[in-house]
Chains A and B, each alone.
Chain A
């Protein structure tokens, strides 16, 4: 692709929604109130696994101020599947997760909901709903779930994909998949070094600061209006329609500002309940989760067991790999084990491998996407073993990885040949970085790790409207979760040649813009960006036609340079016309100018990351501190580098939290014991150092600017980077995470 000189792309203007967000004006999910609005609350199961025998709501309904009570009976059991974005959604499962029918499948599973004139009345009434449960043994880990005598969560469950030979029903194994290449028996036989370990990671939550919230208003015309904090208003619409048996066109979803999601605000939880309550009560209903609800009933990503074996030649060349991935799905199918399988060997050329991945039901909340879903856990195993082989062979960590790193034309483990990718460039940058050779203080260690993520494409729509003064508005359907408005405005500025401040970017409701997939999959800047660029190009083409009309020449006699229509050869006498000049003439040259585009684009191609982590371990207290961290990433093309850096830094912080402290702690009955921010310990400012970033730009040939996705891969390397740094500092090769003080002390004592 020919290098293009940019005027706006790559600059760092202030985001357009910034002033609202630093002054408290921006409206998030819980900020909306409507006249006559009721407050809804959810009654949740006190059991992790129980049959629901009966629900008696009459005492709750009799409370003054209560306007509606719903149970699973109000949500039809709709068996089917809808294709939404990255994956099909099982309509029964999402409905049953929103409001249980036959069984409560995890502690905190919604079993009923109440709408009342005040939240206090709603809460009091919910406590008067009588639910008769038959408690069942909860299945709380993979080992128990696959035991021959394990209680079965779903008697009708069939293993999708490629069930293991000899597998039987009923089962808790929801899916199994395999990837293979070459001959692993011969591969391992040819290896000089073979390492094999079993790794475990714990269930963790996305940890967005804003709890789920929505307001629904159902009308007697059968139309519903929903305001929701979501990563995907169209997916909310379509999920609610499927769950409630409504036509999607009868639901309009307006996304609020969104206070973080990381994948966790793609599913619906409250939204279908709020619509159902509003329908029953005839008034708007607002529902807001507590933090405890968020932990118990939304989000998390899988706890995992990964058994992996790697073989290498004496020079470090990887020759064989085998892996068995077991991921907790929570109460319904859908863990990201398959993605984990596709990602875990994706950074390296390995001629012989076999990977199998299992999706296992347990009585825990249904997992949701979490930033590069599935990749961090399996990559923890891979990068730990690569580190171990490099140590065993006395090879430099970068050298070992460079020897095996994939490049353009190499095949991914899941099939396709890689387009232009920057893994080797990122590894070289790591080697050149002063961090790599900086001296370490006593009790410090250094770890490195690579990471891979796909980066989605999918569907997006955009509209660019020109105003009479030459400014423009750009409208898309992606809630702005981290600076996508300003990125889109930069694209319009680039295409039209107007200042970025003259572009007003907006996020529209589902009636005001074409279908657009989620803000997720690292896709917005790439895929929605392509729609924006095309829509702005459409405006530019119309402006050229208007200039042609003014000059009375053929449209192909008009070119476009630096934001101006210029006359080509045949009309050389004409002075160029600016966007503002042409905009001022719109009414006389054909009317309003609106550009539009709707795209469905292939995956962006992977963006690889290479991270360096320095860890200091206090051997007396076991305290571990990340003292230096550098994230290097092939970002394709950074449209707004500050927000690209921000994605990298944020992903690193989440990965460090996962490695050091974050975990769901369940008691023997399956009750989460740490459902609050005090005990579910996410990193705070004093836990972290500055996080250095290095942006490598290997352009994506599929995108006019070279953009790749950037948001997800930064969470992939930190688990192993921290673990490898721990190994370097202490000699401890940990196959679990959580380098919290007690565990480190325990490990140090065991190692002595």
Chain B
């Protein structure tokens, strides 16, 4: 079986890679493209550690075939910071100590980015339900929710 040649956009940059037809986007990101910030926690779409944004939509990259990103645009955790500056969500995660082991953190930050892109002023409950697809076993979510709500507040102050 020959490999697929995929041409796509990753974090705003053109990218291409070869993959097996059955390979997941997560595997391609981690192994072919060296973007190991997306984590594999389950491969069944339950933990959210591999969350990426594909054409504006939040998806678990373990449930997307690598071949599906042909011609699409994918944002991973490596593409969230703005140049040398952390994204406000990243900054607030640090200030609130919203991570302990940190392995779920990339997925949470990508999910939170998708949330705030869609809803700049979410309630606590909306935030909790939006992030319910991301498992964290260390924090009890308290500081994560606070960090996201705080980031939302800061981002609303800055004109887009």
Contact = CB atoms under 8 A, between A and B. Distances in A.
A61 interface: no
Contacts of A482: 100-101, 138
Given A291-B43, A682-B137, A684-B135, A690 B145 contact: yes
A218 interface: no
A642 to B, nearest CB: 4
A650 interface: yes
A25 B37 contact: yes
B8 interface: no
Nearest to B143: A646
Nearest to B80: A23
A686 B128 contact: yes
Given A481-B100, A642-B143, A676-B46, A24 B77 contact: yes
Contacts of B154: none
Interface in B124-155: 125, 127-129, 131-146
A26 B103 CA distance: 9
B144 A209 contact: no
A14 B93 CA distance: 10
Interface in B79-109: 80-81, 86, 90, 93-97, 99-106, 109
B143 A28 contact: no
Interface in A20-44: 21-28, 30-31, 33
B78 interface: yes
Contact of A209 (B49, B76, B77): B49
A685 B105 contact: no
A682 B135 contact: yes
A642 B129 CA distance: 24
A24 B38 contact: yes
Contacts of A26: 102
Interface stretch (A95-103, A187-195, A256-264): A256-264
B147 to A, nearest CB: 10
A260 B103 contact: yes
Contacts of A12: 97
B141 A685 contact: yes
Contacts of A678: 44, 46
B36 interface: yes
Contacts of A687: 132
A262 B94 CA distance: 22
Main secondary structure of the interface of A (DSSP, over half): loop
Contacts of B102: 17, 21-22, 26, 257, 259
Contacts of A642: 96-97, 143
Contacts of B135: 209, 677, 682, 684
Interface residues of A, number: 60
A688 interface: yes
Nearest to B129: A686
A290 B105 contact: no
A26 B125 CA distance: 30
Contacts of A210: 39, 41, 101, 103
Contacts of B136: 209, 685
B27 to A, nearest CB: 9
A717 interface: no
Given A22-B93, A686-B132, A483 B40 contact: no
B132 A684 contact: yes
B78 to A, nearest CB: 5
Contact of B46 (A649, A677, A690): A677
A18 B106 CA distance: 12
A31 B31 CA distance: 9
Nearest to A24: B37
Contacts of A28: 36, 39, 103
Contacts of A537: none
Nearest to A481: B101
B47 interface: yes
A687 B140 CA distance: 10
Contact of B47 (A18, A24, A209, A647): A209
Contacts of B137: 206-209, 260, 262, 650, 653-654, 682
B6 interface: no
B128 A685 contact: yes
B15 interface: no
A690 B94 contact: no
A30 B109 contact: no
Nearest to A651: B140
B33 to A, nearest CB: 12
A642 B139 CA distance: 11
B78 A211 contact: no
Contacts of A209: 39, 41, 47, 49, 101, 103-104, 135-137
B81 A258 contact: no
A18 B94 contact: yes
Nearest to A644: B97
Contact of B41 (A291, A640, A654): A291
Contacts of A420: none
22 contacts: A17-B102, A19-B90, A30-B36, A31-B36, A206-B137, A208-B101, A209-B101, A209-B135, A211-B41, A262-B137, A290-B43, A291-B47, A650-B139, A677-B41, A677-B46, A677-B47, A682-B135, A684-B134, A685-B128, A685-B134, A690-B142, A690-B146
Given A207-B137, A685-B144, A686-B129, 15 more contacts: A21-B99, A22-B86, A23-B90, A24-B35, A28-B103, A257-B103, A260-B100, A288-B40, A291-B42, A291-B43, A482-B100, A646-B100, A649-B139, A649-B141, A685-B129
7 nearest A-B pairs in the assembled complex, by CB-CB distance? A24-B37, A259-B103, A653-B140, A21-B102, A649-B140, A642-B97, A677-B46
Interface of B: 20, 30-31, 35-44, 46-47, 49, 76-78, 80-81, 86, 90, 93-97, 99-106, 109, 125, 127-129, 131-146
